[in-house]
Structures are given as structure tokens and as C-alpha cells.
Chain A
Amino acid sequence: MDVLGRYRNLIVLVGVLFAQVLGLAVQVKRTTDDESTRLIRIWAVDTVTPLEKALVWVQTSTGNIWHNYFYLRGVRAENRSLKAQVERMSLERVRMSQDADQARRLQALLAFKEQFISETMAAQVIGSSGSELSRSVYIDKGERDGIKPDMAVITADGIVGKVLRVYGSTSLVLLIDDQTSGVGALLDKTRLQGILRGTPSGEVVLEKVMSDETVPAGEMVLTSGGDGIFPKGLLVGRVTKVSPGSELFLNIRVRPAADLSKLEEVLVVTKIDERQAEPDQTGAARAIDILAERLPKVPTKPENTVKADAAGTVAPTTVAPTTVAPAGTAADAKPKAVPAEASDASGTATGQKKASPASSSGSSSGPKATAAGTHAVKDSPRPVKATVEPKPQPAVEDSPH
């Protein structure tokens, strides 16, 4: 007992250290947070972040009152609106630029799918982790706002990071300059792909680019979409320095486009959609359409059947391949059966006023013509007969004259 009393402090120290080392070892082995550590994190975050939120709110509100009502009233709001517009357009520009390049490269691949950001949520940065070795920030949106882990976080300038942990009303965002982060990236011109990582000193490097490749300084780095978090084509930053690295790879330093040390507001990408690339409709007709035209088919019964029947026989429905309009959807552009004789006869044998091909099509389309169809007629250099339902006309051969 004497020994225990004498070394009580040391024994407690060893016990506390042992418990923490054991806990640390368990956490390192597990890939996900177990319930006990998650609770500690929730308590800590719930203790600290409300105060941060309150301070940020006070700071923002005070700033807003001053700028909106005492100092250049209205200008600030307009400026903010314009900035938001610029942000949106900047994002759109990057995406469209990528789309154009992509379209040229993958023109032949009809089944190609692309991703685009369809929904974002603005969030305020309220605090950091407080450690230089854990480069992460807290935002004021959490589970209740629909935030989920692994959502991409961006600004108008470039990508910021991804949502790592989600709490009730806050989330922890892992920045791209943290050493445990990894982003699939590619170089804009050379299209070389690599992995973007942070370093312990807070720099960002592009890894896994072979040393025999040439990478010029200043080249833009974009997301490749390969990580499944960031959509392809978002701006990451620019190459600042290229040097031979370890093994067979280059050491490429990248300066992030977004200023990660001065983050105030960010956008969380809450929804990414995939869409199918549309095939070029100006090309030759598809084989399946040509085959479909050659098959016998039952003509659609027109509305004025009674009138036609009264006038005489209905023109036989024949199939005539027609020009496909450049604009419009595939469904609209699909060639349809057209009564060739009826079309010719309408202006000649029946003695009706002959109209120009375009006007003829336009008039015959009537209320049934779709918007795409109408547009297709305007753009088409040749008469388009495919967009309207055939009108029954008296056949020339069967004419009583």
C-alpha cells in the first residue's frame, strides 16, 4: 500500500496514457468512427460550434447593418447579387468549356455519360479544427439541411474539399490541402491524370504523373471525376512548380484556385446528375430508321376521313424517305411515312393552289406540328415532310377527270 501511495501519480499517469494509447490503436484499426468516439466528437462539436455560429452571426449581422443601411445603402446588396451571378457564370463557364472539349473528343461515343452539378447549398464557414495538422473547417449546415458525407464543397474560384463528418446543424469539411485528402485530377492541356494530395506543410501536390511527361508551369488543374465526389471539369488550381520526384513520378506543386486560408462562404454540391450525351442528329439516318421505313405499316387514320371518303378513294400510303431536320429531338427528327403521290397531287391534279415546299409543309403541319418540328422546318434546307401526319388526298389515277 505504501508503494501505491508513493507512486500514485505515476500509476495514474501510466493508466491514463495506457487508456488513451489503447483507444488510439482501436480507432486507427477501425475505418469508421465507433459509437464511443463519435459521442465525444458530438459533445465537443455541440459545445464549441454554437458559440462559433453565434459569433459569426453577430459579425455578419453587424457588418450587414453597417454596409446595407449606413454605408452605401443598396450598393452592397447589388454587389453581392452580382458576385453571386459571376460565381454562377464562372462555374457554368468552366463546365461549358469542358463540355465543348469533351464533345469534340467523344463525338462518336453515343453512350457517353457526363455529370453536372444540379443543386448546391450555400454555407458559412464558422470554425476550423484548431490544428495545423488537421486542415478542416466547420460549416453551418448539417444533417438537418440535407448535407451528407462525401459531398463536394466548392467556391466560385475552385474546389475546397469534401464533407467528412455530418452533425446535426454543422459539418466538418476536409480541405484539399490536408494530407489525408485525395482528389482525382487532370491537367487541362496535356490531359494527364493524377491524384491531388495535401502535404504536412499545407501544400498541394499532384501525384502519380510519370516523370517522362512534360508538364509546364502555369497549366490549369481540373477535377477528373474519377474520385466519385467531384464532377469532372471543376477548377482545382494551377501548376506552380514541377520537379523530379521519388521513383518514377513527377513532383508537381499546385496552387489551389480557392484561397483555403480565407474561406468564408462555400457551396456544398448536394446533387450531381448524369445525363446521356445526345448523338449528332445532322448525320446520316440511322440504319434502324431506314429499316423501319421499309416495313409495311398501317397508316394513321386522319381526322378528315369522312371528307376524304366522300370525295373519293384515299390515296395509297407509300413510304418515302425524307430529310431529317437538323434540330429537334430524335423522336421529332425520325422520318415518317409520307404519301408521296398525295403530296404531288395536292398541287397539280387536284387543281389546288401550288404552294412552295416550305409553306406547304408549314401549312399542312397545322396544330399537330410540334415546336421542334416547326423549328426543324425553318432550319432545313430542303422541304421537310416528315414532321406532319399525312393528309389524305385523292389519288391522281383515281381522279374522275
Chain B
Amino acid sequence: MAITYTSGEQVEVYRFSIPATVLIPLAAVFLQAFLPLRFRFFSIFDLPLLVTIGFATARRSPLAGLLTGSFIGILQDALTHHPIGLYGISLTVVGFGASSLGIKLDVEHSGARFLLTIFFYVVHEVVYFMIARGLVGLHMEWSWPHELLSGVANALLGVLIFMLLDRVKQRT
């Protein structure tokens, strides 16, 4: 079913079961903490971010998107030694933005998902950078090539994760 989204009425909204809503973000945070110890290269990925984008674009509800992002971000913050709120704020913004954009764009196609993920990865990094430097006083280095490369890597993984999320999402 091709959806062009020329009208808001054509937008399909999905929901997730409660176990999926709870367990998938938890699994993402867990894997993010566990896998980089075993596979060094995995630290380039940001699973909680990808799950936030995946949930937000599927639900297409800004309110649900920002709350999901806030929850996942705070959980991610709690495992670090930095103040709680760094990831919380940036994922809140991403969750809100992704769900708002999901209403206007066709996010069912892999190409669109790929570009959307790159875009929100950069948004996430920019917001995090600003808060970390401005509010917390952390020293951070910004490198466009590194951010874009990481964005592409995350987008590739994101396409796969969104496919997995498609299997558990339910039509409302």
C-alpha cells in the first residue's frame, strides 16, 4: 500500500505491545553497555538512539515520541557517571522530532529511514554536544567527518532494526 502522505488522513499509526515497549528499550540499553566490551567497534553505534527513532516514527505521536526518548535517555544516563539528563534531553528532542517528521514523511521505505536516521543522529550529537559543553562543562571535540561516518554506520544498522520493529508493531 503506497502512502504519499499528501494528506494527514492517510497516515498509518502503529502501536507496540507493553512487553515490547518496555523490553526493547531495555535490551537496547543493555546491549549498548555490554557489546562494546566484547566488540570494540560496536561503540560507534547508538542502539538506544535507533530504537527511539524507530518507536517515534512508527507511533507518529510527538507526545509518545518525546516521552519514549526521555525514558530511554534517562536510563542511558543512569549508567554513565555524568549527570542525568544529557542523553535524556537529546533523545527527548530526537523522539519529538522523529515522530513529528514521521507524520509528514513516508518512513516506510528503507531509503527514507536511512536518511532520517543520519539526520537525527547528527541532531542528537549536536544537542548532546551543546548541553555537555554548555551546561555540564565537559570538553568535547567536534569532527564532521567522524559524525557523518558514524551517522552512516548507524543508519545502516537502523534500517535493519526498523525492519525488526516492523515485525512487532501493531496496526491501531
Contacts and interface: CB of A to CB of B under 8 A. Distances in A.
Interface of A: 8-9, 12-13, 16-17, 20-21, 23-25, 27-28, 37, 40-41, 43-45, 47-48, 51-52, 55, 125, 127-134, 136-138, 164-165, 172, 174, 178-180, 199-201, 261-263
Contacts of A127: 33-34, 37, 79
B80 A134 contact: yes
What 3 A-B pairs have minimum CB-CB distances, sorted nearest first? A44-B78, A134-B80, A24-B85
A200 B89 contact: no
Given A41-B78, A130-B32, A133-B140, 17 more contacts: A13-B62, A13-B92, A16-B70, A20-B92, A21-B85, A21-B89, A24-B83, A24-B84, A24-B86, A27-B84, A48-B33, A128-B34, A130-B29, A130-B48, A134-B80, A134-B81, A137-B37
B131 interface: yes
A130 B79 contact: yes
A127 B83 CA distance: 19
A263 B37 CA distance: 8
Contact of A128 (B36, B62, B63, B137): B36
A51 B140 CA distance: 32
A20 B63 CA distance: 16
Contacts of B63: 8-9, 12
B66 A16 contact: yes
Contacts of B29: 44, 48, 130
Contacts of B81: 129, 134, 136, 164-165, 172, 174, 178, 180
B66 A25 contact: no
B104 interface: no
A25 B85 CA distance: 9
A286 B80 CA distance: 58
B89 A133 contact: no
A75 B109 CA distance: 55
A25 B32 contact: no
A21 B96 CA distance: 16
B135 A55 contact: no
B37 A9 contact: no
Contacts of A128: 33-34, 36-37
Given A24-B85, A200-B140, A201-B141, A133 B132 contact: yes
Given A16-B70, A131-B80, A200 B37 contact: no
A222 to B, nearest CB: 26
Given A13-B62, A127-B33, A128-B37, A20 B70 contact: yes
B171 interface: no
A146 B121 CA distance: 41
A156 B25 CA distance: 37
Contacts of B92: 13, 16-17, 20
Nearest to B31: A130
Nearest to A201: B141
Contacts of A261: 40
A130 B86 CA distance: 13
B66 A40 contact: no
Nearest to B132: A133
A51 B26 CA distance: 11
B76 to A, nearest CB: 6
B75 interface: yes
Contacts of A137: 37
B158 interface: no
Q: Among the interface residues B32, B75, B80, which one has the most CB atoms of the partner chain A within 10 A?
A: B80
B30 interface: yes
Nearest to B43: A132
Given A13-B92, A21-B135, A52 B30 contact: yes
Given A13-B92, A134-B81, A164-B81, A24 B136 contact: yes
29 contacts: A9-B100, A13-B96, A16-B92, A20-B70, A23-B85, A24-B84, A24-B85, A24-B86, A24-B89, A25-B135, A28-B136, A41-B78, A44-B79, A47-B26, A47-B75, A51-B30, A52-B33, A127-B33, A128-B34, A128-B37, A130-B29, A130-B32, A130-B79, A134-B80, A134-B82, A138-B33, A164-B81, A174-B81, A200-B139
A24 B37 contact: no
Nearest to A39: B78
B4 to A, nearest CB: 24
Contacts of B141: 200-201
Contact of B79 (A12, A13, A45): A45
A171 to B, nearest CB: 12
A55 B93 CA distance: 33
